[in-house]
Amino acid sequence: MRGEDELLAWLRTLPGTDLLGDDTARLPVRPGSVWIATTDSQIAGVHVPADLDPAVLARRLLELNLSDLAAAAAEPAYALAAVSAPAGFDHRRFLEALLTACAAAGVRLAGGDLARSPTLTLTLPLLGSRPEGAPAVGRGNARPGDVLWVGGTLGESGAGQRLVSRGARLRAGAGGGPEEGASEVYLPQDLDLPEAVREAARRAVRRHLAPRAQLELGAWLGGRERAAVMDLSDGLARDLPRLARESGAGAEVEAEALPTPEGFAALCAALGEDPLELALGGGEDYVLLFALPADELPPDRFECRPVGRVTKETELWLVKPGRREPWPDLGWDHLVLTGD
Amino acid sequence: MRGEDELLAWLRTLPGTDLLGDDTARLPVRPGSVWIATTDSQIAGVHVPADLDPAVLARRLLELNLSDLAAAAAEPAYALAAVSAPAGFDHRRFLEALLTACAAAGVRLAGGDLARSPTLTLTLPLLGSRPEGAPAVGRGNARPGDVLWVGGTLGESGAGQRLVSRGARLRAGAGGGPEEGASEVYLPQDLDLPEAVREAARRAVRRHLAPRAQLELGAWLGGRERAAVMDLSDGLARDLPRLARESGAGAEVEAEALPTPEGFAALCAALGEDPLELALGGGEDYVLLFALPADELPPDRFECRPVGRVTKETELWLVKPGRREPWPDLGWDHLVLTGD
């Protein structure tokens, strides 16, 4: 197999790699800005199947880190790529797709680390910038009376994850990009899905494997006087309590207001999943959850949906027609996996 | 086991965690500075044994990333910690030791990522600062006639690695820190080392598992008019060609000038290793390799040693009494491991 020096020499011939130098990179300053830092990892066999197309993996890794920057209203700037991979991993396909996706998002690859490992582990620290003096959009900004919003539908990624765990895959196109049109969803024959839900299933697989960070919505929220923002990575059931706790507040969410995609109920029925449980706890939605004063409305183009309100009492409630239930214990804990 | 939220709540009670917030951290600016970024990973079973004390691991992870900052003459500033670990990993011991070591090095922990993985994988992106306009100290700065220096002895870490692979360990003290005095080297009975080399063996294990980044030497080099600097992580045999190639030059190294620690020859004899091969290719020395104009000498306090010179012809030679040999093909390639 190819050695590290040869791979790096090849990498430096690609566009967008001018910052790549030695073990360190010197990051050009953005005057009048502060840096916002984040890092998320993707582990084959934990977050994604081990046989996932490296190009799909690269794009997903970038998007879910960008989603953290979106929640901080930060403008993407630099990435480092730490790639620990078993023998046979297609580094070139991964790195080419990563560079293409970085370029599209305004991110410059500024270094990284290559190592061999029995378990494919990809870590992508990102730096974004935010104007100095701009208000923070942290989780602790919600106030009683605020309206709670989500930036898109919930549960679809969770349904996609179930499909992927049963063999569904996304194949990137020739260009390596998993964009709509340039990539194709594969549904195994033995999935035995009714014809009527196959299109919703394809969308769910795409949503799970090729999420898109809501950077524009984040930037809009960053321009508000006060906004509490986070991205939904572990599911509303687990993430909303974090926002409420940081704000010293509680919340009421209308179960019937939770937005789900077209054909979701039928897809869940075919998968034997409960739609409400997936919407609350399926995880990896990668849309923004935010709280705004009641008189402030996000522009229609973002297709956000109000799902509840922030309350003074610090409990969380799920409101159903005629009754309210204690907040459900669902969602993804990164340290406690199924089977523990 | 404990969940993510509980672990993070505990972590935030420790000193030095005031930057830890949500999924992102806002990094205070250092006026007049640019940022230098780096990231290195440590993988259990690849770089270190899987049963290594998490406190030792934390310190080692920090030091080898600091070593990259030292080679860039950067002042340490911020770290992100991406921890992917199997069930049972002692996160608290790891994080406490990491925070203690960060505080000692002037690094503030600014976030990270926690995930479960069958393979313990630790990635520590670091940001350091360097005065805007200060000369770069990259690998490409060497010029024919420069003297080549190393910041300390070579091969000792490689010997330590052999001992660790045969069961030697470092146990951190009660404080969690693997500092000299606060930690103890364990040599297994069945190692069967002559009494005369046991002290050198203990030092080698400590050198391998508890390296110290040469930040002060790096800062001094950063103040020179021109210096080519890198840290020796993969062994002189593999790292020197990188410096020479980036500088468009060659090099001659005196085999007899390569500094090795006291008792090294006897230790190598006991281990069945060739001292010169370990000095050139043992790897993970984590001392600086640098080239300076011949009239510029590093201060005595750094205990640097001249090992050769930079040449105009682009070949590399290992000079032995009465002859010179082609540069040896030794050292560590991160993508090609033994057994491939």
Q: Which H helix or E strand runs over B71? A: helix B54-71
Q: Give B129 to chain A, closest Cα distance, Å.
A: 9
Q: Using DSSP, state whether B186 is helix, strand or coil.
A: strand
Question: Do the chains contact at A39 and B125, CB–CB below 8 Å?
Answer: yes
| Span between the terminal Cα atoms of chain A, in Å | 37
- Nearest CA-CA partner of B176 in B104, B122, B77: B104
- Nearest CA-CA partner of B232 in B290, B303, B316: B290
For residues A186 and B315, give the distance between their C-alpha atoms in angstroms, rounded to a whole number: 52
Which residues of chain B have a CB within 8 Å of the CB of A290?
A: none
Question: Do the chains contact at A113 and B91, CB–CB below 8 Å?
Answer: no
| Residue of B37, B41, B231 lying closest to A27 (CB–CB) | B37
- Nearest CA-CA partner of A119 in A49, A38, A60, A166: A49
ipTM for the complex shown = 0.90
Question: Do the chains contact at B117 and A23, CB–CB below 8 Å?
Answer: no
Q: Give A114 to chain B, closest Cα distance, Å.
A: 6
Q: Which H helix or E strand runs over A324? A: strand A323-326
- Nearest CA-CA partner of A109 in A77, A83, A84: A77
pLDDT tens digits along A63-97: 999 999 999 999 999 999 999 999 999 999 999 99
Q: What is the DSSP string of B215-261?
A: HHHHHHHHTSSS-EEEE-SS-HHHHHHHHHHHHT-EEEEEGGG----
Angle between helices B91-105 and B54-71 (to 10 degrees): 30
Which residues of chain A have a CB within 8 Å of the CB of B87?
A: 340
Give the mutation candidate from A1, A8, A24 for the B interface (greatest B CB count, under 10 A): A24
Nearest 5°: the CA angle B257, B331, B146 is 40
Q: Which H helix or E strand runs over A185? A: strand A184-186
Q: Are B24 and A72 in contact (CB under 8 A)?
A: yes
pLDDT tens digits along A144-170: 999 999 999 999 999 999 999 999 999
Question: Do the chains contact at B71 and A24, CB–CB below 8 Å?
Answer: yes
Closest residue in B to A43 (Cα) is B117
| Residue of B39, B45, B112 lying closest to A113 (CB–CB) | B39
Which residues of chain B have a CB within 8 Å of the CB of A71?
A: 22-24
Question: Do the chains contact at B28 and A36, CB–CB below 8 Å?
Answer: no
Q: Are A15 and A103 in contact (CB under 8 A)?
A: yes
For residues B155 and B182, give the distance between their C-alpha atoms in angstroms, rounded to a whole number: 24
Closest residue in B to A83 (Cα) is B41
Which residues of chain A have a CB within 8 Å of the CB of B130?
A: 26
Closest residue in A to B86 (Cα) is A335
- Nearest CA-CA partner of B101 in B231, B213, B221, B6: B213
Q: Going residue by residue through chain B (340 aa), what tens digit of pLDDT does each one get? A: 468 888 888 998 998 888 887 778 888 888 889 899 999 999 999 889 999 999 999 999 999 999 999 999 999 999 999 999 999 999 999 999 999 999 999 999 999 999 999 999 999 999 999 999 898 898 999 999 999 999 999 999 999 999 999 999 998 875 545 454 568 999 998 888 999 999 999 999 999 999 999 999 999 999 999 999 999 999 999 999 999 999 999 999 999 999 999 999 999 999 999 999 999 999 999 999 999 999 999 999 999 999 999 999 999 999 999 999 999 988 777 776 443 3
